[in-house]
Amino acid sequence: MGPSREDVRTLNIIIVGDGKVGYTLAEHLSREEHNVTIVDTSEEALRKADESLDVMCIKGNGASITALREAGADTADLLIAATSMDEINMVCCLTAKRLGTRFTIARVRNVEYTVDASALKHDMGIDTLINPENATAVEIARLLRFPSAANIETFYRGRVELMSFRAREEDFFLGQPLSALSQQVRNLPILFCAAERNGEVIIPDGSFVPQAEDRIYVIGAPLGVHEFFKLIGRYAPHIRNVFVVGGGRITYYLSAILERMNMHVKIVELSEARCRQLSEILPHSLIICGDGTDQELLESENLEDADAFVALTGRDEDNLIISLYAMQQGLKKVVAKSNRQNYAGIARAVGLDSVISPKFITANQILQVVRGMQNSKGSVMNALYRIAGGHAEAMEFLANDTTRNLGIPLKDLRLKKGILIAVLVHQNRIIIPDGSSILSQGDTVIIVSRNHGILDINDIYDDSLLDMGAVQ
């Protein structure tokens, strides 16, 4: 048997810091019916959270014993320290651990601290370190490696990829159901696993008819996904020259990764002091001191000669405007940072598909930890991604002895609506399942779902008939 609902616990969670990341987390976690307490020194931030979310708010310094005691740290399951100060986050975790909190997560942004991660975890009582800027840089680098995709998520240690793209009028697979796709496509190890249309998310079956402007998600073995992108004419040559506007932490991490990938990086940054700093720590990148939102400067620095453009200033509005300008110049890959979900929607509507949000990347990482803590006795969740603007999830599980319905063909299983078993990995073989496929113990199972809150493979089955006593 899989985990009963008693095994799936409501957690007592403390979030210290009510900035962008803290608020987003509180929103997601309270929606999943956890008991969330926010600790912050800002009355205004707490008022906003109190009015909009089902959470408890405490005004105080999250590093103080008094505030943490008041927040219930002695019995808390999880403390997430997400203030803007690394040092405060670390002290919060240390104090909470000593008071009795079971698990702690610290947001740590400073490069030096990130390098010393293992020692910090041991000395400061931190169970998980999260670095949003580094995680964002890794995500952007992945997109630059495969420029035709709007976003890329990886499963099974990189051996399965999930990519999205926007369908165009000229695509040969439009206007016909997926079941009628040519043999050439059907033989590829890929699956159309989700689609966004007019703000709605569809989990497709054989009768789904793709249309122009649909945002389509394809999952499968990297080679199969790449072949499919070549078939539909989305294959782009490798990127060599990257133009970056904004010289913050994400830019530092990204440039360090791109330098290792033998890409040439040009960075435009407004602050002279920061330019000097970047020149020292990124000797192989070209640093230009100037206003990257100024069209004349972009022209004089030969923006149109770049293969890719990345907008990483501190202002979401500037990032989107200069990204649209870069698109007009004909650059084949444009990525913009935006933490505001409504801006991301506007950007996609005008054709800017690769919009990256550090706070959502962080929220994904933490939600995965939370789901794992909730479900202590069931299948193991190895990955969790929010896709389609947060309206669907893609998850990777390991089937074990708690998994129900092993050995039964998929066509004989009753799954909840809006759920798709997208990929099975059996004895290291990647399988795009059909009706005759079965789940076996030890298989990796990748599921795409419109339902939030799937904690375990067993949550995908429709037990309503069982509950009614119709099936014994």
Per-residue model confidence as pLDDT tens digits over 86-118: 999 999 999 999 999 999 999 988 877 776 777
Q: Which residues contact 187 (CB under 8 A, 6 or more apart)?
A: none
Kind of pairing between the strands at 103-107 and 78-81:
parallel
Residue 466 confidence (pLDDT):
46
Any idea which fold 144-231 has?
Alpha-Beta Plaits (3.30.70)
Work out the pLDDT band at 377, boundaries 50, 70, 90: low
Q: Which residues pair with 18 in a beta bridge?
A: none
Predicted local distance difference test score (pLDDT) of residue 375? 65
pLDDT in tens, 224-236: 998 998 888 887 7
> Which whole number is the average pLDDT over 296-325?
94
Q: Are 371 and 359 in contact (CB under 8 A)?
A: no
Query: How confident is the model over 136-158, as pLDDT tens digits?
Result: 999 999 889 888 887 788 898 88
pLDDT of 46? 92
CATH superfamily for domain 12-130:
NAD(P)-binding Rossmann-like Domain (3.40.50.720)
What architecture is the 241-356 domain classified under in CATH? 3-Layer(aba) Sandwich (3.40)
The confidence band for 464, taking pLDDT boundaries of 50, 70 and 90, is low
Greater confidence (72 vs 183) lies with 72
CATH 3.30.70.1450 fits 361-467, yes or no: yes
Say if pTM beats, i.e. exceeds, 0.85: no
* Per-residue pLDDT at 334: 95
- In whole angstroms, give the CA distance from residue 354 to residue 273: 30
- pLDDT tens for each residue of 387-404: 887 889 999 999 999 999
| DSSP state at residue 239 | P
Cα(63)–Cα(455) distance, integer angstroms: 31
Matching fold, domains 12-130 and 241-356 = yes
| Residue ranges of domains in the chain | 12-130, 144-231, 241-356, 361-467
Instruction: Look at residue 36 in the predicted model and tell me its pLDDT.
Output: 96
pLDDT at 453: 72
With b for 16 or more beta-carbon neighbours within 10 A and e for fewer, the 27-66 pattern comes to: bbbbebebbbbbbbeeeebbeebeeebebbbbebbbbeee
402 close to 2: Cβ distance less than 8 angstroms:
yes
318-371 pLDDT per residue, tens: 999 999 999 999 998 999 999 887 777 777 777 788 899 888 888 888 888 888
Q: Tell me what percent of the residues of the chain surpass a pLDDT of 90.
A: 61
Distance of alpha carbon 363 from alpha carbon 29, whole angstroms: 9
Averaged confidence pLDDT in the chain? 88
